[in-house]
Chain A
């Protein structure tokens, strides 16, 4: 069973949460958000070219020089423009690691499989995926300061196999997508349902 809902991130951007339920013990949560928007692309390009223009203007009126040497102005301008072009191209390429502008890229795919534990997958590019398998203790929400904001974070508490009652690590999820509280509550409740189901079946004789 698959369920997709639309939420927003802390900046008001669109964010989709896909929830696939394979069995009562296994659910998959996938948060998708567009990595590149036209607004951010325009802002980055404008700032890079403004910086290049500023550099060019500074080179043009270098202190201690009366009149620029023949050809110096053109050479400085060319260097600035070339650098800006490279930075822009390189930055754009970096942004487009896995997708074309406007297309969603899956940032994280935390999959809950209760019999095997929690699997947290990070999809950096369509062909590169890192997966971490861990034992889940519980989920918590945390409050943190992020720049000039106060945001909620969903964290999973990891179980130490040697000491099952202790929490060995706290792993934040959906770090790059930064969904708002309503989305986190939805994930949290779904995970708690699975955990409760697992607990109920494990205690049953």
Chain B
């Protein structure tokens, strides 16, 4: 799991992330924490980050921690809502700027976030996604308030273009004084360490997971002809252009080959053009946007799952497909080679030619009957990535973080100036000072003592949760360790 520096042993790409030993994080935890997850991306928006935050929060609640989520309002969904098991979600009335990310001035969210952190007695602020400005704002304010901070990066980013340079600079500023950073794969860790100029010792790798009970195989629902399933957003980053090249070539070569494509996006028009031009209406089905509950029903109709992503930190879609018993063919980009063992995935270069070869190889294996049965694939995959395991590992990171000191203001300013360059460092040091003065002003206007302490829905004194006693929890820890 976590790369703890020192030895500097890099993981071989073929070994799945799930099989890595937790190393120094082997001790069982009994302390409960008050955790605040912050991100612009949460339900009702759908995606990997949203799912990760929800599932991780649920597992942490089950392990006896108090968890709240802070995100921005989505349409009419504003205010405070309770989800399953008393998971409290604050939908803050902040304006969305671009792509579900809120506009930031670095200061305007301080009053509300400070009020929430104080009333919920938050001890750890855990922000998610480098594209979320609210996550960075929360980190900035939490550090000003002297709270412990953890950040999870879910994506890969470039280095060359102007936008990347600027974004990476902001990431450097945001993460230079953050206590701990979590990445979802070793490739993602390498990317984040380089982008934000971080010490690798404070970056851990904890992969995503799937709920194996949601993704079970059903061979009786498979079509008679060979069916290739593609489920992804139809955008450039997901390699929809490659898919447009693959479809006519393989349909011409194999008469009993069909495609089922789930997902929506701006590149759908290109797929429709291809279908029109080659008259493939009866062989290529475009399902449009799918709800998460419908994904399994689509997956089990196919034999092969195709992923054409051009960049991916950790591809949950291929784990879900493998859990449904499909043979996976995927591009060899980002963290994908780390996700599944070689026996369950055919890796290809991100080109039409290579992907066609990979698919032909999978079709040949399917016809010759050399592929493992869907049940066998499922039974192997279901032990790889579980949310309980992810929660347990994240809990160890929290334990580690709480042992560290939060940087006092003078050291924080020194860190910003020495780590982020003289110009950027001085600018953000000034902003940190202004933020601190704003905090003092807010404390004068509304002292912490007159802020009502929230009634806990989760955690040790939670009104909703009935978490297991410590002895039972220890037994669970043992069970989880055995599954690794």
Seen from chain A, the residues whose Cβ lies within 8 Å of a Cβ on chain B are 8, 10-12, 143-145, 148-152, 180-182
| Contact in complex: A145, B93 (CB < 8 Å) | yes
- Which A residues touch B90, using CB under 8 A? 150
State which of A12, A148, A150 has its C-beta within 8 Å of the C-beta of B450: A12
- Distance (Å) between the CB of B111 and the closest chain A CB? 4
Chain B interface residue number, banded? 10 to 19
- Which A residues touch B78, using CB under 8 A? 145
Q: Whole-angstrom distance between the alpha carbons of A149 and B115 in the complex?
A: 6
Given A145-B93, A180-B452, A181-B452, A150-B447 contact (CB < 8 Å): no
- Which B residues touch A180, using CB under 8 A? 450, 452
- Which B residues touch A11, using CB under 8 A? 446, 450
- Distance (Å) between the CB of A109 and the closest chain B CB? 24
| Contact in complex: B452, A148 (CB < 8 Å) | no
Closest to B445 in A: A11
| Contact in complex: B115, A12 (CB < 8 Å) | no
Q: Whole-angstrom distance between the alpha carbons of A148 and B118 in the complex?
A: 13
B79 CB within 8 Å of chain A: yes
- Distance (Å) between the CB of A191 and the closest chain B CB? 18
- Distance (Å) between the CB of B108 and the closest chain A CB? 9
- Which A residues touch B119, using CB under 8 A? 150
| Contact in complex: A145, B79 (CB < 8 Å) | yes
Q: Whole-angstrom distance between the alpha carbons of A145 and B70 in the complex?
A: 13
How many cross-chain pairs have Cβ atoms below 8 Å apart between A and B?
A: 40
Closest to B113 in A: A148
| Contact in complex: B115, A150 (CB < 8 Å) | yes
In addition to A149-B115, A150-B116, A182-B452, 13 A-B residue pairs with Cβ atoms within 8 Å of each other are: A12-B450, A144-B79, A144-B80, A145-B92, A145-B93, A145-B112, A148-B115, A150-B90, A150-B119, A152-B452, A180-B450, A180-B452, A181-B452
- Distance (Å) between the CB of A178 and the closest chain B CB? 11
Q: Whole-angstrom distance between the alpha carbons of A143 and B450 in the complex?
A: 16
- Which A residues touch B447, using CB under 8 A? 12
Given A8-B450, A12-B447, A148-B79 contact (CB < 8 Å): no
Closest to A149 in B: B115
List 17 contacting pairs A-B, 8 Å CB cutoff, sorted by A.
A8-B450, A12-B447, A143-B79, A143-B80, A144-B80, A145-B78, A145-B79, A148-B112, A148-B115, A149-B111, A150-B80, A150-B90, A150-B112, A150-B115, A150-B116, A152-B452, A181-B452
Q: Whole-angstrom distance between the alpha carbons of A57 and B42 in the complex?
A: 51
- Which A residues touch B112, using CB under 8 A? 145, 148-150
Q: Whole-angstrom distance between the alpha carbons of A181 and B450 in the complex?
A: 10
Q: Whole-angstrom distance between the alpha carbons of A167 and B90 in the complex?
A: 25
- Which B residues touch A181, using CB under 8 A? 452-453, 455
Closest to A184 in B: B452
Q: Whole-angstrom distance between the alpha carbons of A152 and B116 in the complex?
A: 13
Closest to B114 in A: A148
- Distance (Å) between the CB of B164 and the closest chain A CB? 35
Contact pattern, B 269-289, Cβ under 8 Å of A = 1, otherwise 0: 000000000000000000000
- Distance (Å) between the CB of B105 and the closest chain A CB? 14
- Which B residues touch A148, using CB under 8 A? 111-112, 115
Closest to B110 in A: A148
- Which B residues touch A143, using CB under 8 A? 79-80
| B98-112, CB < 8 A from A | 111-112
Closest to B92 in A: A145
Closest to A143 in B: B80
- Distance (Å) between the CB of B135 and the closest chain A CB? 20
Q: Whole-angstrom distance between the alpha carbons of A11 and B79 in the complex?
A: 21
Closest to A180 in B: B452
Q: Whole-angstrom distance between the alpha carbons of A12 and B112 in the complex?
A: 18
